[in-house]
Chain A
Amino acid sequence: MTILLSIIVGLGLFFLVGFAGRTALQAAAPAHHKPMFREMPLTASFGLAVILFYVAVAILAPAIAPFGEGEVLGAQYLPWAAPHYLGTDKLGRDMLTRLIYGARNTVGIAFATTALAFVVGSVLGIWAALVGGRLDQFLSRFVDALMAIPALIFSLLLLTIFGTSVLTLILVIAAVDATRVYRLARSVAQGIVVMDYIEAARLRGEGIWRLIRREILPNAMAPLVAEFGLRFCFVFLSISALSFLGLGIKPPTADWGSMVRENATLITFGDITPLLPAGAIALLTVAVNFVVDWQLHRASGLKE
């Protein structure tokens, strides 16, 4: 019964947020972007609305959280009742407060990591595709070898050696992820490099930098942006998994992955509180995936 009920409530919320999001976006969008939002599927408007909500929570965290991030306030594992609307955790900290701060910490770290991986991976990838020859061979074989080791396993190996602090976590995950971005950026750029307009620009005598900036990048943006969304999901899930395993973001920093780990025992008693941070992770990833899916669909549809 509860399963059925939760599915119905979930679907109801989905449609509500989807419709409301689409209406709001259409109203807010500048005139020349309006058609794009009118044809937007419900999944995409739901995703966009959820992403905007997360960003707002992350930015406003100190203002909206009822208590301090690491404040120990009372007994452990308090049930859901005012003033602790979602109860307390195993150290007696307010769950709702930590969930709100988690948006800031977990999402922020994942975003910084993705951005780092992206800049390094895409610049190297496009460069390799354009220059070709030995440089391309060397970089690509090196990346191939790194990619032959499963990402999580490689991260675990590096974390063992360098230890687990937030900075090493960001660097390690970014390094592992940059290999994947490199691959994509290189293959996208290779598709563009063979075009006649690149040949024309080369025969004109244009330099490498101008070729990348004016001729290649504008044409590679659409797939790269979509890839950024996918990579963000992947990084976000990886960091959460590592935190859950006790190897990622460490207490007392509020983080969704480690919150699940710390309070997991409650689940065996049928208490769903530890699932809330897990659900928060899932919801954001779903939202990003929905938006990326829509963008990819649009890109492929426009091509034909």
Chain B
Amino acid sequence: MNEIWLMIGQRLLLGLLTLFIISVVIFGATELLPGDLARELLGQSATEETLAALREQLGLNDPAPLRYWNWLTGVLQGDFGVSMATKKPISELVGARLGNTLFLALYAAALSVPLSLLLGVLAALWRNSIFDRASNALALTAISFPEFFVAYILVLWLAQTGLFPSMVRITSATTTGDLLYSAFLPALTLTLVVTAHMMRMTRAAIINLLASPYIEMARLKGLSPMRVVLRHAVPNALAPIINVVALNLAYLITGVVVVEVVFVYPGLGQLMIDAVTNRDIAVVQAIALIFASAYVLLNLIADVLSTITNPRLMHRK
């Protein structure tokens, strides 16, 4: 058992190291610019005074490692600095919106994970049937659609008829029930896109295993197809399936950006797009770091979970 903890400890350390490198990349990307960041942001017509003021504000006069250190220690204490466009502290801008985005992502995950696992297992069980072929072609189609296309089709079909709202407003008076109702279309959009991916990969993971000799052995022991898949294939497919789920939850994070814009959903994605448009670098860096951390965290969890579901690692010789 100690070896398992050691392995998990190693993964955690590796995760921390990755986060550190990411923070360097995100911070250091601004250094890649050939010229001066302040001039790049303000344009050629800017006066020397405004440039100097901006440099002072961004701390551009300090050496890069010092600026990185100040930024990192700030971030670790929840202080991301000040937005250039709105002059407000970034943590304030991000705070409420982070909750909204997490809510949307979890909402979509709660719908898509069970649905896609069920569909994936069924497609593997009935492979080459009409159900399998149809669901495969449909999934391939759904994967190919840009998110905004799916979103607008849903708006056209479900919001035009007045069934669901096409815009999401969140105030302090909004209850969870209201939120579940009004965020249904964005969540459904994400669900459709992600489910297709997850279903296909789940199916592939299981079918990959169905060719193994121990599956043939299980069939030759006279077990029913359902028992063969559930008891003999699924336990061995857990590690790949966990990775599939993690990969797609991570994908949700990216998908959220476009969907939030379509449905005017007050989340981090909206904020990020506004910040990119205004070239409000500090805000973009902060949100990029948050998204990347969530991504790393998800992969870390998947890594640890697939380690503990592997009997070869759990039960050493």
Chain A CB within 8 A of B106 CB: no
Chain B CB within 8 A of A281 CB: yes
Chain A CB within 8 A of B57 CB: no
Residue in B152, B253, B275 whose CB lies within 8 Å of A260:
B152
B residues 158-181 touching A (CB-CB < 8 Å): 159-160, 166
Shortest Cβ distance from residue B56 to the other chain A in the assembled complex, whole angstroms: 20
- Tell me, in angstroms, the Cα distance from A111 to B281 when the chains sit together: 30
Q: In chain B, what residue has the closest Cβ to A146?
A: B25
A residues 207-262 touching B (CB-CB < 8 Å): 233, 237, 240-241, 244-247, 257, 260
A279–B149 CB distance below 8 A = yes
Chain B CB within 8 A of A8 CB: no
Chain B CB within 8 A of A114 CB: no
B296–A162 CB distance below 8 A = no
Residue in B156, B157, B253, B277 whose CB lies within 8 Å of A247:
B277
A257 / chain B contacts, CB cutoff of 8 Å: 146
* Contact mask for chain A residues 134-176; partner B; CB cutoff 8 A; 1 contact, 0 none: 0000000000111011111110111111110000000000000
List the interface of chain B (C-beta within 8 A of A): 18, 21-22, 25-26, 29-30, 32-33, 40, 137, 140-141, 143-149, 152-153, 155-157, 159-160, 166, 250-251, 253-254, 257-258, 261-262, 272-273, 275-277, 279-281, 284-285, 287-288, 291-292, 295-296, 299
Answer whether A156 and B288 are a contact pair too, CB < 8 Å, given A150-B250, A245-B273, A293-B140. yes
* Contact mask for chain A residues 282-300; partner B; CB cutoff 8 A; 1 contact, 0 none: 1001101110010000000
Interface-side segment among A51-59, A60-68, A84-92, A267-275: A267-275
A152 / chain B contacts, CB cutoff of 8 Å: 254, 257
A247 / chain B contacts, CB cutoff of 8 Å: 273, 276-277
Q: In chain A, what residue has the closest Cβ to B275?
A: A160
A161–B254 CB distance below 8 A = no
Chain B CB within 8 A of A45 CB: no
Shortest Cβ distance from residue A143 to the other chain B in the assembled complex, whole angstroms: 11
Residue in A150, A158, A162, A290 whose CB lies within 8 Å of B291:
A150
Chain B CB within 8 A of A278 CB: yes
B152–A278 CB distance below 8 A = yes
Interface residues contributed by chain A, number (CB under 8 Å): 47
Chain B CB within 8 A of A3 CB: yes
Main secondary structure of the interface of B (DSSP, over half): helix
Residue in A43, A149, A162, A281 whose CB lies within 8 Å of B146:
A281
B152 / chain A contacts, CB cutoff of 8 Å: 260, 264, 267, 274-275, 278
- Tell me, in angstroms, the Cα distance from A181 to B306 when the chains sit together: 25
- Tell me, in angstroms, the Cα distance from A156 to B147 when the chains sit together: 17
Answer whether A245 and B261 are a contact pair too, CB < 8 Å, given A160-B275, A264-B152, A274-B152. yes
B157 / chain A contacts, CB cutoff of 8 Å: 3
Shortest Cβ distance from residue B11 to the other chain A in the assembled complex, whole angstroms: 13
A270 / chain B contacts, CB cutoff of 8 Å: 156, 160
List the interface of chain A (C-beta within 8 A of B): 3, 43, 144-146, 148-154, 156-163, 233, 237, 240-241, 244-247, 257, 260, 264, 267-268, 270, 272, 274-275, 278-279, 281-282, 285-286, 288-290, 293
Q: In chain A, what residue has the closest Cβ to B285?
A: A157
B166 / chain A contacts, CB cutoff of 8 Å: 268
Number of A-B contacts (CB under 8 A): 138
Task: Give 12 CB contacts A-B under 8 Å.
Answer: A145-B22, A153-B253, A156-B272, A160-B281, A161-B29, A244-B258, A245-B273, A264-B152, A267-B156, A278-B148, A278-B149, A282-B144
Residue in B144, B160, B258, B295 whose CB lies within 8 Å of A241:
B258
A279 / chain B contacts, CB cutoff of 8 Å: 149
A148–B292 CB distance below 8 A = yes
A150–B140 CB distance below 8 A = no
B18 / chain A contacts, CB cutoff of 8 Å: 144-145, 148
Answer whether A246 and B277 are a contact pair too, CB < 8 Å, given A157-B288, A233-B144, A240-B146. yes
- Tell me, in angstroms, the Cα distance from A145 to B146 when the chains sit together: 27
Answer whether A245 and B258 are a contact pair too, CB < 8 Å, given A275-B149, A286-B141. yes
B40–A163 CB distance below 8 A = yes
A290–B140 CB distance below 8 A = yes
Residue in B146, B155, B272, B288 whose CB lies within 8 Å of A268:
B155
Question: Which of B33, B146, B153, B292 has most chain A Cβ within 10 Å?
Answer: B146
